[in-house]
Structures are given as C-alpha cells and as structure tokens.
Chain A
C-alpha cells in the first residue's frame, strides 16, 4: 500500500520564522504535490514536482518554495511565515502516465495542521 508520510501532524510557528514541511513517499512516484486545504476553498495547489529537482508553480505559490533533492522527498518551505499561512497542508504523490495527463490517482498524506502565531 502506498504510504505518504508527512513529518508533523501539528506544528506551531511564529510570524517571520522559516518553516519546513517534509513529505516522504515510499512508492517511487515521480510526481509529488503540495496543497493547502482551507474550509470552503477546497484544495489549492501550491507547487508540484514531476522529477527530482524539477518543480512547477501551482495556483498559490507566493510565500512558498519547494525542494526536491531526492525522488522520495518533497519539502515545502515557508520563507517567512505569516498568519495567513495558517492552514492544513497536504502532500500527495502519483505515478506518471505517458499521455500528458496526470491521471493516476494521487495518494495523500495525513496532513500537517500549521498554525502561525
């Protein structure tokens, strides 16, 4: 069974801090994703990566960066945390298809609930 592990379930940080959220998957998936989930807004894509050292911006990349140095690990970085980044952060992974779609099911981690004070 695919396992996507996020390093923390709950995290509390202060405004201005640099915050690292870590995600590891054990299925050798090429694609990895970071979303934030907010009530009434659903899941919004922050960044995704389709290969090591490759990344693309999603819908709301401002204030975030990512790092993918190894295939199994995808890190989300809040450069200078702000209160409006308080949210649930979800990591996901999937295997690619050769037809240009990202249509393999995404496997999600349990999420990190991040509070910025």
Chain B
C-alpha cells in the first residue's frame, strides 16, 4: 500500500525566509500528488496538484512544488514566506490501483514569525 512521509513536523521561519517542505511517497507506479493547507480555524483547502506533464507545478499564494520521480518526492517551496502562511501543510498521494482514495502524510506545522 502507498504511504506518504513528511519528515518536517514543525518548522519555524522568519518572514521573508525561503521555505521547503519535504514530501516522499512510496509507490512505484503512476501517482497523482497534492498539497493541502489548513490555516488556523479553517478547513483544509487545495494548494496545488500534480497529475502529469511539467514536474514543476505552481499553486495559489506563490507556492510551487517539484515532482522528482527518481526520488519519489514532491517538495513544496515558497521563495519568501509571510506571517499569513502560518498553517499546517499536508502532502497527499493518489494511485490508480488499489485503494482509490487519497493517502495523506502526517502534516507539517509551519510557524512564521513576524
């Protein structure tokens, strides 16, 4: 069965710092990959997704992620974070065979200090 690992559980950055959150998945076949974000007190919402094509995908609010198939990774990046990016970030994977629902990682809590 597929799994998703997010190794950074809690990240603290100052405003304007660059961000990279790691996401690795374990599945050898075709995957769809997602990043979701949960702002304090709000519901989860989609940040960006990768289905096929250009491995560098851009999402909302200046976020981007790069799919590196050889490394089974889909890391999230942002060049300059803002205090409003304080949230919990979840990576998720979907595969075509086996279970047909998303598998989520354990999440990374990002705290941006002004």
Q: Is the CB of A100 within 8 A of B106?
A: no
Per-residue A-contact encoding for B17-60, CB less than 8 Å = 1, 0 else: 00000000000000010100000001111100101000000000
**Docked complex: B75-101 residues within 8 A CB-CB of A:** 90, 92, 94, 96-97, 99-101
Which residues of chain B have C-beta atoms less than 8 A from A56's C-beta? Answer: 99-101
A16 CA to B45 CA, complexed, in Å: 34
Q: Is the CB of B90 within 8 A of A33?
A: no
Q: Is the CB of B96 within 8 A of A101?
A: yes
A45 CA to B107 CA, complexed, in Å: 14
Most chain A CB within a 10 A radius of its CB, from B45, B49, B107: B107
Which residues of chain A have C-beta atoms less than 8 A from B49's C-beta? Answer: 103, 105
Q: Is the CB of B94 within 8 A of A102?
A: yes
The verdict on A79 contacting chain B, using a C-beta distance below 8 Å, is no
Q: Is the CB of A103 within 8 A of B105?
A: no
Name the segment of A20-28, A36-44, A61-69, A70-78 touching the other chain.
A36-44
A48 CA to B97 CA, complexed, in Å: 16
Asked whether A45 and B101 contact (CB < 8 A) given A101-B32, A101-B96, A103-B51, the answer is: yes
Interface residue total, chain A, C-beta cutoff 8 A: 26
B60 vs chain A, min Cβ distance (A): 12
Asked whether A106 and B102 contact (CB < 8 A) given A42-B90, A99-B96, A101-B32, the answer is: yes
The verdict on B9 contacting chain A, using a C-beta distance below 8 Å, is yes
Which residues of chain A have C-beta atoms less than 8 A from B6's C-beta? Answer: 42
**CB within 8 A of B45: which of A35, A41, A43, A108?**
A108
8 further contact pairs, Cβ within 8 A, besides A100-B96, A101-B94? A43-B44, A43-B90, A44-B104, A45-B101, A45-B103, A58-B101, A102-B100, A103-B51
Per-residue B-contact encoding for A89-116, CB less than 8 Å = 1, 0 else: 0101000000111110110111100000
Q: Is the CB of A41 within 8 A of B106?
A: yes
